[in-house]
A and B are shown apart, each in its own frame.
Chain A
Amino acid sequence: MHTNAISRFGNTGMSAVTDLGRMGLYLLKIFQGCFRLPFRFSEFVRQMHFIGVGSLVVIFFTAASTGMVLGLQGYYSLHKFGAEGMLGSAVSLTLIMELGPVLTALMVAGRAGSAMCAELGIMRISEQIDALDCMAIDPFRYLISPKLLAALISVPLLTVLFDVVGIAGGYVAGVHLMGVNPGSYFEGMRSSVTNHDIILGTVKSFVFAVLLVWICTGRGYLVHQIRGAGFGASSVSKVTTQAVVLSSISVLIFDYLITAVML
């Protein structure tokens, strides 16, 4: 019985290491696919539209809500110390360095990442990816690399949008609702936000874009090789859930690591 338990533990460990190795090779192939010709410009534009334009509404409302809540809560905290003038600084730094990149990535993972995973999973189980292989068409160049390139442009732009809308939301809540001086709101922001803070937020958004595409497309593409996922429609639903959970957790872990390294 103990031997069985140890054996099962060993198998699980081996399978996790194998899966990680497979995902590592998968990431390498996505990067290689970016440099293979001919470049699929139309697919790249389509993905930009899907990931970027398609996420505008959800990003706008999440950013507005987050910014307004930050404005109200920031005012509540700062008011206790008579430091309402620091509201602009608190809201903008929190959004630019932390919440903007993280919440954008989580929203894109939920909306576009899950769809990318399901699309590739279905293509895998219906042998469409095998068909590409059999026609000697590189699936990475054809299907996946355009998604990575589109995400590398869309996610940072969405993050910028998130930051701008969030700061505006904080302004509405802090200045219009709570009566903070508008000049001090913007002056606090101008004096405290440095290039380093903006670079930190930008680096995060690029890293999160890679994480999202890597994990979400990888789980779909490799659905037939994932232990316990099975095969068929249920396997696609399983790996889609897994993709969103894993990519979200990875975003949070990398958020901490990047902050720890760059701050």
Chain B
Amino acid sequence: MSDNAIVFTDVLKSFEKEDGSRQVILDNVNFTIPAGKTTVVAGGSGQGKSVTLKLILALMQADGGTITVAGDDITGIRGKRLKQLRTRFGVLFQGSALFDSMTVFDNVALPLRERTKKTETEIKKQVLDSLEQLELLGHENKYPAQLSGGMKKRAGLSRALQLQPEIMLFDEPTTGLDPVMTQEIYQLFARTQAQVGYTSIIVSHDIPKIFNLADQVIVLNNGAMDVFPSPEEIQWSQKPHIKDFVQTTMGEIYQSHLVEK
């Protein structure tokens, strides 16, 4: 993989509103996400954080500009190239996106059954090993509705890691979790990243805690992006919207618990 896992160049994305006019979400934005590092994408609601993730995953297409993943231009990507692109990624969705009709075991085994030629015995061993690492052993026969929020996140993470992704995307990974569970989940992210070595992109508004994990921070605001090479630099920005952002979201950053990296 090249030094930059993902590069956005002059990316434009807008949506049609009910009255037929267009709302610009990303206005010719440029940034790079370094390989093997953790980038946090922050910003208020409706600022395009999830849209950025969907553009990276090619779940939606940009209206203009180019996006490259590990050096490959993914603009207008489809067919087999799209399938190959997606095998590079693991995604932990906001609500975990576990399949309600499947047990935890079947959810985690799904990518292995569908995307590999492994035997059922090999799949069983790999899934149970993964569940043990994420402290879910004993819950493999439960359905998602029988799990707590934290357990769902861990099951979703386990599923996302099965194909050993190069890039992990986390969409609001701690929404709905209590502070203790949030802390545990972030520690888990740091641990799994150290083990697997993936590039991590975390979309979150749980700013104080998540910044302890970040190597780079991107703040989205009204279609524009501000990139900070380290979380510490964000507090020195003189831009009014960043100052507001720091005041409203980072007031307690230095009081937050440090996450072991």
Contacts and interface: CB of A to CB of B under 8 A. Distances in A.
B196 to A, nearest CB: 17
A16 interface: no
Nearest to A141: B114
A136 interface: yes
B114 A130 contact: no
A133 B59 contact: yes
A135 B110 contact: yes
Given A133-B86, A134-B91, A136-B86, A228 B97 contact: no
A131 B18 contact: no
Interface in B26-76: 54, 57, 59
Contact of B20 (A11, A136, A142): A11
Interface string B104-115: 000000110011
A80 to B, nearest CB: 56
Contacts of B100: 128
A126 B152 CA distance: 13
Contacts of A11: 19-20
Interface in B88-145: 89-91, 93-95, 97-100, 110-111, 114-115
Interface string A120-141: 0001001110110111110000
Interface in B220-241: none
Instruction: Place the interface of chain A in its size category.
Output: 10 to 19
Given A127-B93, A127-B95, A128-B99, A134 B83 contact: no
A1 to B, nearest CB: 15
Nearest to B99: A128
Q: 7 nearest interchain CB pairs?
A: A131-B97, A136-B86, A127-B97, A11-B20, A127-B93, A134-B91, A136-B83
20 contacts: A8-B20, A10-B20, A123-B99, A126-B95, A126-B97, A127-B93, A127-B95, A128-B97, A128-B98, A128-B100, A131-B93, A133-B59, A133-B86, A134-B57, A134-B86, A134-B90, A136-B84, A136-B87, A137-B111, A227-B18
Interface of A: 7-8, 10-11, 123, 126-128, 130-131, 133-137, 142, 227-228
Given A126-B97, A134-B57, A135-B111, 9 more contacts: A7-B20, A11-B19, A127-B94, A130-B93, A131-B97, A134-B86, A134-B89, A136-B84, A137-B111
